[in-house]
Amino acid sequence: SFTSHMKLCCFPFFSINKAINTQEVAVKEKHARNILAKCVCKGAHTFWAAVNRLPLSSNAVLCWKFCHVFHKLLRDGHPNVIKDSMRNKADLTDMSRMWGHLSEGYGKLCSIYLKLLITKMEFHIKNPRFPGNLQMSNRQLDEAGENDVNNFFQLTVEMFDYLECELNLFLGVFSSLDMSRSVSVTAAGQCRLAPLIQVILDCSHLYDYTVKLLFKLHSCLPADTLQGHRDRFQEQFKKLKSLFYRSSNLQYFKRLIQIPQLPENPPNFLRASALSEHISPVVVIPAESSSPESEHVVETEDLVDTDIPVLPTKFDDLFGTSAATDPFNFNSQNGMRKDDKDRLIEQLTREIQALKEELESFRLEVKKLHIH
């Protein structure tokens, strides 16, 4: 029927506008889930049809939340999301350059985040064996190099570049916050910190794979040839170790994610047997994790530390059992008061009315995309 068809066409646009808006609050899990389930189940055409209507170049908070949602979709959406999104690369590059003219606030962060997302897309297009969430077995990682030391050498360089972009965003967010205050329990603080969950998930895999690839390279090439690789690894190791440690001490993350800690010292790649001592960092997202809804920000003393011990996973045992099975399982609702529900119903009724008025033009845009 027309009514059911109208709901089907309207829903993606509605979900995207609920997640990507100008309110300085963290993107909610339910809205991200809706987009993942309804907008990108086969690709990213519908997502981009809606996103291209948003004024991402004129509002930095809006752009920041777009980046957060897009990062989730690249990680956990249909494999076609990455391919479909590459046609928007030039626009994203221009937007990053535009926001880069600002020296602080969300504008600067958007510029850094867009660079990361472009780098992420480029890496996965060039290396299609790697899924968006970067979860691979040892055998799959080995196969990615196609038994050619030159491929492994180049792949390691590309992973360094990828991880560098992740670390830049990590550092950018932290340096934009006043860490002397309880920023992680404010709506504004959570808005900036929330995307770092995706960054932490990416970083844990990229760090793990660079360690394994460097050991492989040292078994094939002279140590002097790999001095540049070792130097770059050392620099990134120090940054990531510090950022993981600092993140694990923030109340906001304690409720949502168990962040692994890196070893005291980096691996010694000149000693082949040190590979057996490498412990792959595993990010744990509790199945029932919850966070304060952004409209009901809680105080520090009300936050419960739900730390979950992480058992170290040795090199040979890690793959095949992923603890981070649901990167979206955060920010979930933790109950709602009656007056909040009434307000929400009124708000939704108004928004549905507004969406009905835009439905026809949106349907036409989607239809054109499918025709082309």
- For residue 225, the model assigns a pLDDT of 96
pLDDT, mean of residues 232-254: 95
Highest mean pLDDT among 51-55, 155-159, 274-278, 297-301: 155-159
* Contacts for 267 with CB less than 8 Å, ≥ 6 apart: 211, 214, 215, 274, 275, 277, 278
> If you search the block for the tokens 């908070």, which residue do you land on?
61
25-45 per-position pLDDT tens digit:
999 888 888 888 876 567 888
Tell me the sheet residues that pair with 341: none
For the segment 186-207, what is each residue's pLDDT rounded down to a tens digit?
Answer: 899 999 999 999 999 999 999 9
Q: Are 36 and 76 spatial neighbours (Cβ–Cβ below 8 Å)? A: yes
Calculate the alpha carbon distances from 367 to 3, 272, 353, 357 in Å.
Answer: 17, 57, 22, 17
Rounded to whole angstroms, how far apart are CA atoms 177 and 159? 28
Q: How many residues does the chain have?
A: 372
Residues 6+ positions from 37 with CB-CB distance below 8 Å: none
DSSP string of 63-125, one letter each residue: HHHHHHHHHHHHHHS-THHHHHHGGGHHHHHHHHHHHTT--SHHHHHHHHHHHHHHHHHHHHH
- Its pTM stands at 0.76
For the residues 141-165, what does the mean pLDDT come to? Answer: 96
Pick the closest to residue 294 from 187, 189, 209, 368 (CA basis). Answer: 187
- In the chain, DSSP finds a helix count (H) and a strand count (E) of 14, 2
Q: Does domain 10-114 have CATH number 1.10.10?
A: no
Query: Could you tell me which of 211, 334, 349 has the C-alpha nearest to residue 280?
Result: 211
Assess contact for 46 and 40: CB atoms under 8 A. yes
Comparing CA positions, the residue from 269, 262, 264, 263 lying closest to residue 228 is 269
Asked if 40 and 81 count as a contact pair (C-beta separation under 8 A), the reply is yes
Q: How many Cβ atoms sit within 10 Å of the Cβ of residue 3?
A: 7
- Collapsed DSSP state (helix, strand, coil) of residue 12: helix
C-alpha torsion 113→245→269→220, nearest 10: -30
**31 versus 182: which is more confidently predicted?**
31
Please check the confidence at residue 299 and state whether its pLDDT lies above 70: no
